[in-house]
Structure 1
Amino acid sequence: MSLLLPSFPFAQQAQIIRSNQRDLFQVSSLREQTENVLRAWLGTRWLSRWDKEIEFIVKAGYYSLTIGRGTQTLGEEYTGIWLHSSHNDRRPSPQLRAAMILLPTLPPYIAARWGSSLPQSSMLRRIPSFIEILSEINLAIFYLRGTYYTLGRRVLGLHYISSIPENPNSRPPSYSLLGILIGVRLIYRLINFLRSGNSTTEKSDNQNGKQIVDGTQETYIDDISVSSLLSAPSPEDQPPLPAEEDQRTALDVAQIPEDQRAGRSCTLCLEERTASTATECGHLFCWNCIVGWGREKAECPLCRQSLKLTRLLPVYNL
C-alpha cells in the first residue's frame, strides 16, 4: 500500500490580498515606532535627512526576520498561507528568499535617493515609471487569474499555497472587475501617451510662459523651470546652518552672551535655533524643523496643541 502525501491547494485571492494588507500595516507601524524613537534621540532634522534609509532598513529588517528565516510573515500567518516555488515544487531556497527581500526594497530606495539627481533626458529616470506600469499590468492579471500578487513574485516564480482546505460548498469572491478597471485605466494612459507624442511641437509659447526643451514642453515660473523646482533638494535635507550665518534674524548672534545663547536651542534638532518660528501656542522652533514635524503630525511637539503650517509665524528678533 503506497503512502499518499498530503497536497495543499493554491491560496485564494482573498487570502493573498489580506496577507499583503496586514504586512503593509505591520511595516507602517514598525516604521512609525522607529521614527518616534529616532526623533526623540536625534531630532526631526536628522530624521528628515535619512528618512529614505530608515524606510529601507525597516522594510528589509521586517522581511529578513520573516521571509529571510524561512518562516511566514505576520500577514501570511494570519491568513494561513505559505510561499511555494513553481520551479521545484518546494519552499523557496535561501537565494530566492534573499531576492524576495531585495527586489521590493532596494530598487525603490535607489530611485528615491538618487533618481532626482539624474538629468531630465536620462533614460534611467523613466525606469521607475516603467516598473510602475508593469506592476499595474501584473496586478490586473492577478485580479483576473489570482496567482502572483506582486511583480517580484511573478519574476521569481513564487506562489502561495494554503493550509486551509477548500470548501466545495462555498464560492470564493471574484476580483475580476478590479482587473478590468485597471486594464481600462492602462489603455487610457496609453492613448493619452500616444496623443501627447503626436502633438509635441518644436515651437515655444512665450505667452503662456512655456518653452520647449529637448522635445518636451517645459513650464517656467518667474524664469525658473518647474522641473528644477521639483528636483531641488528639500531644505529639511540640508545640513544644519550655524546660528551666526542665519539670514532670517535681525539679531547679531555672535554678540549674544553664551548663557543666553544656550536658551535659544530648538527642542527638535537640539541645536541653536535658525529662522526662528513661533507656533500658535507660543513655542519656538527652527523653521525647517517645525515644518518637517508638522507635515507628519499636526500637533505641537511640546504641548500637543493643534498645529497648522499656515499659522506658523516667523520671528526675526528672538
Structure 2
Amino acid sequence: MPFHQAGAAEILRSVQKDESYLSHLKSSVADIVQRSFGTRTWLNVNQYSDVLCELGYYTLTTLCLRQTLGEEYTGIIQVDRNRRRLPSHLERTVMVILQCFGPKVLQLGLAKFEKSVRVGSFSTYLRPELRNIILQQIPKLQYSLTLLHRIHLAVFYFSSGFYHISKRMTGIKYVLIREWLGDNAASQSFKILGSVLFLHVVLTLSYAAYTNLFAKPKTSSKRTLSSCYVDSRKQCPLCLEERSHSSVTPCGHLFCWQCIHESLQTLQQCPLCRYHVLPSQVVPLLNYD
C-alpha cells in the first residue's frame, strides 16, 4: 500500500525540530571556538562555521540515507517526486549542497557584484548614470528574492509539497510512514495562512508599483538616483535603509536598533545567520559611522 504524502504540519514541525538541533550545534561550536581561540577568531570564522555545521548535520543524516532528527520526530521520510522510491544519491547530494550553500553563495555573489560596480574594475566601463541605475536596482533585487521566498512558502501552505526551495528544485518530497501522527485537521488553517501570505505579497507589489509609477518626487533624475542608493556598508538588512542607531549582535551583524529588536520579539535569532540572539545581547554602537 503506498504511503500518503506528508502534510504541511508534519513537514513544518520537522523543519522546526531540525533548526532547534542545528541552533544548539552552532551555539556549542561557537562556544568551543570562543573559549579556545578567542572572540576575534570566532567572529572571523562564524559565517563559515554555520554552513559547515549544517553540512555536517545533513551529511550524517540525509546523505547517509538516514532520517534527520526532525524527520524521525514527525514520522516522515524523503522520496522522489513520484513517491515510488527513495531519492538517488545525486538528488540528495544536490539538495544538500543547494540548501547549505545556496543562500550564502547568492548573498556573496550579489555583494561582490555590487562592489565591482561601485569601486571595482567593472565600474570603469560604465557611465556614471548607468552605474547609479544598477546600484539603485540591487536593493530591489535583494528584496525581490525575499518576495520570491514568501511566494514559495505560500505555495507550500496550499499544496504541502516543498518547504525548502532546494527540495523543490530536486523534486524531493515527504511521505508519512506513521500515518497516525498526521494532522489532517490543520490543512485548512495552513491554506488560510497561505492566502494571507499571498495577499501580503500582492499588496507589497501593488504599493511598490504605485510608488514607482505615480508617487515619484519632482526632482531631477540625477538627484533621485543618487539619493535612492544606500551604500551597502551603511544599509540595514531588515529595512534596507541607512542604519539608524547602529547595533551589533553577538554574531557580528549590524542592524538598526529598532529593527533588530522588533525582529527578536518574533524570533530570537539573527535574521542573517540564524544564530541564537537575546535582546539583551544586542549592543548599540556609539559614534559608529
Q: Pick the TM interval, shorter chain.
A: 0.5 to 0.7
Map of 2:234 onto structure 1: 229
CA distances 1:208-247 after superposition (whole Å, capped 9, x unpaired) = xx94226x724xxxxxx65452399x9x9xxxxxxxxxxx
Shift in Å, 1:130: 3.5
Residue in structure 2 matching 1:203, options 219, 240, 244: 219
Q: What amino acid is the match of 2:198?
A: G
Matches within 5 A, 1:1-318: 6-87=1-82, 89-119=84-114, 121=134, 128-165=142-179, 171-174=184-187, 175-198=190-213, 199-200=215-216, 203=219, 211-213=223-225, 217-218=228-229, 227-230=232-235, 309=283
Kept in 2: contact 1:8–1:162 (CA 8 A): yes
State the secondary structure of the residue aligned to 1:10: coil
Q: How far 1:202 sits from its partner (Å)?
A: 7.3
What amino acid is aligned across from residue 230 of structure 1 in structure 2?
Q
Q: Distance in 2 between matches of 1:88 and 1:17?
A: 19
CA distance in 2, matches of 1:151, 1:310: 35
Alpha-carbon distance in 2 for matches of 1:10, 1:311: 50
Q: Deviations over 1:99-127 (max 9, x none)?
A: 11111221222244453343272677665
TM-score normalised by structure 2 residue count? 0.67
One-letter code of the match for 1:54?
S
Aligned residues: 229
Shift of 1:54: 1.0
Q: Please, what is the CA RMSD of the aligned residues?
A: 3.6
What letter is aligned with 1:141?
Answer: V
Give the SS at the match of 2:224: strand
- The letter for the 2-side match of 1:64 is T
Q: Which runs of 4+ in 1 moved over 6 A?
A: none
What are the ranges of 5 or more consecutive residues in structure 2 without an aligned counterpart?
119-133, 237-241, 249-275
Q: Secondary structure at the match of 1:38?
A: helix
Query: Alignment identity in percent?
Result: 24
Q: Deviations over 1:163-197 (max 9, x none)?
A: 123599x8521211110110111011111220222
| AA matched with 1:203 | T
Q: 1:17 to 1:91 in 2, by over 3 A?
A: same
- CA deviations on 1:137-158 (whole Å, 9 max, x unpaired) are 1211121222222222222211
Alpha-carbon contact 1:52-1:113 (below 8 Å) kept: no
Offset of residue 17 of structure 1: 1.0
Partner of 1:302: none
1:100 and 1:152 in contact (8 A); partners too: yes
- TM-score (structure 1 length as normaliser): 0.62
SS of alignment partner, residue 83 of structure 1? strand
**What is the CA–CA distance in structure 1 between the aligned matches of 2:228 and 2:279, rounded to whole Å?**
37
Cα pair 1:135 1:150 within 8 Å, conserved:
no
